[in-house]
Amino acid sequence: MRVLGINGSPRVGGNTDILLDRVLEGARSNGADIEKVALNKMKFSACQECDNMPDTSACIINDDMQVIYKKIKECDALVFASPIFFGSLSAQSKAMIDRFQCVWRARYILRKDAGYKKIPGFFISVEGSMRKDFFENAKSIVKNLFTTINAQYKGELFCSGIDERASILKRQDCLQKAFDLGAKLIKKGKGKYMGNIFSAGEIVEMGIEIEKNGRDFYNAVTALSNTPAIKEVFKYLAGEEEKHIKVFENILSEIKKYEPSEAYPGEYFAYLKALSEEHVFTKKRKGLDIAKKVKNDKEAIELGIGFEKDSILFYYEMKKVVLEGEHKAIGALIEQEQEHLRKLSELKRR
Ligand SMILES: Cc1cc2nc3c(=O)[nH]c(=O)nc-3n(C[C@H](O)[C@H](O)[C@H](O)COP(=O)(O)O)c2cc1C
């Protein structure tokens, strides 16, 4: 597996360069072939908005960008690195990105395959200040590039408060995270991309879907039941699931703020995928669909029991992938789902 690192900083041996090296070292430690290019050492012009563009994905300017196009097409993972300059990417980075207009045109105007295979893409960046919005700004541009070249934005590392040349060497936390990010790219010993990654955010989003479906299901079966005691429990459960939606939304916003760049191995992904596929409530608007087919209270209770069991199992896995600060909230949520299960099986026994 080939991992390509692109350094958009003019400073060779500077902070971005050092951080990128650390990511690449991590990847190499697990068997990747690594390569790094420094944009500042390459000779290429900014995009000229040529009127005579060919109807292909190729750029007609014959300069070092041709080398970059080829290297990106051939790599299996891309790590793009740029310092923050004036709240955005460096000029070198932006000049390179603009030169992908030919690829953008091929994909979105000509609707042609531009010859870029699907790869994971990572973005790393440093800044002198402590401003999160600068990284967000730079990230939106990098995401734009990644979409154009068929790279999936799979992770990032942002380090703030780093200004002097090579001062990142004093930041062991950043260096370690960079190494880990690189190492996690590769399946140890096999030199293969771990692929098929669920981000922690995606898993929490599934949790939100589960809870929304649960709420809809319990609301619908509350209306269907004629037994006050059963109605009361269903209504209570619908309210509980509503609260859980809020808990997950908070967790999701924290994840988005801190963006853990965790990656999970293929087998673990397969397990999570199976869990999510088996849990009917991960699919949109499933709660109401299922409730519509319910014939009686007994059936509604049975379905609720199955739903609570699946949720508990899924949330146990979720706990492993979210930030440590969120473990308590998910732990509490699991306990509440266990309580729901208890209430439902009590109803079943009546
Ligand atoms: C032209 C220029 C513009 C910069 N603009 C910003 C900025 O807007 N915000 C910020 O936090 N740091 C800014 N910095 C500081 C750099 O992001 C910081 O020094 C970084 O560590 C440089 O990384 P490097 O050593 O890889 O080049 C700027 C530096 C330069 C040279």
Q: Which of 39, 163, 174 maximizes ligand 1 atoms within 8 Å of its Cβ, making it the mutation to test the pocket?
A: 163
Residue partners of 224: CB distance under 8 A and separation at least 6: 291, 294, 300
Ligand 1, atom 2: nearest CA belongs to which residue?
85
CB-ligand 1 contact for 207 (6 Å cutoff): no
Q: How far apart are CA 345 and CA 350, in angstroms?
A: 9
What number is the average pLDDT over the span 102-121? 90
Per-residue pLDDT for 137 more than 80? yes
CB-ligand 1 contact for 11 (6 Å cutoff): yes
Number of the ligand 1 atom closest to the C-alpha atom of 163: 19
Distance from the alpha carbon of residue 128 to the mean position of ligand 1, in angstroms: 5
CB-ligand 1 contact for 86 (6 Å cutoff): yes
Confidence of residue 259 (pLDDT cuts 50, 70, 90): very low
Q: How far apart are CA 19 and CA 31, in angstroms?
A: 19
Range with the poorest average pLDDT among 194-198, 225-229, 241-245, 330-334: 194-198
What number is the average pLDDT over the span 80-92? 98
Strand 119-126 versus strand 77-83 pairing type: parallel
Residue partners of 74: CB distance under 8 A and separation at least 6: 2
Distance from the alpha carbon of residue 207 to the mean position of ligand 1, in angstroms: 39
Q: Which CATH class is domain 200-349?
A: mainly alpha
At residue 204, the pLDDT reads 79
pLDDT top residue among 277 and 18: 18
Per-residue pLDDT for 269 more than 80? no
Confidence of residue 331 (pLDDT cuts 50, 70, 90): confident
For the stretch 174-183, pLDDT in tens is 999 999 999 9
Is the pTM here over 0.75, yes or no?
A: no
% of the chain at pLDDT higher than 70: 89
CB-ligand 1 contact for 174 (6 Å cutoff): no
Distance from the alpha carbon of residue 116 to the mean position of ligand 1, in angstroms: 31
At residue 279, the pLDDT reads 75
Distance from the alpha carbon of residue 182 to the mean position of ligand 1, in angstroms: 23
For the stretch 182-232, pLDDT in tens is 998 876 555 555 544 456 667 778 888 889 999 999 999 999 999 999 999
Fold of 2-193: Rossmann fold (3.40.50)
Q: How far apart are CA 340 and CA 336, in angstroms?
A: 6
% of the chain at pLDDT higher than 90: 62
Residue partners of 38: CB distance under 8 A and separation at least 6: 7, 9, 12, 17
Distance from the alpha carbon of residue 163 to the mean position of ligand 1, in angstroms: 6
Per-residue pLDDT for 77 more than 90? yes
Residue 112 in contact with residue 57, Cβ under 8 Å? yes
What number is the average pLDDT over the span 36-48? 98
CB-ligand 1 contact for 14 (6 Å cutoff): yes
Confidence of residue 254 (pLDDT cuts 50, 70, 90): confident
What number is the average pLDDT over the span 289-294? 90
At residue 208, the pLDDT reads 87
Q: Which of 84, 157, 158 maximizes ligand 1 atoms within 8 Å of its Cβ, making it the mutation to test the pocket?
A: 84
Confidence of residue 7 (pLDDT cuts 50, 70, 90): very high
The average confidence (pLDDT) of the chain is 88
Domain boundaries, the chain: 2-193, 200-349
Distance from the alpha carbon of residue 261 to the mean position of ligand 1, in angstroms: 23
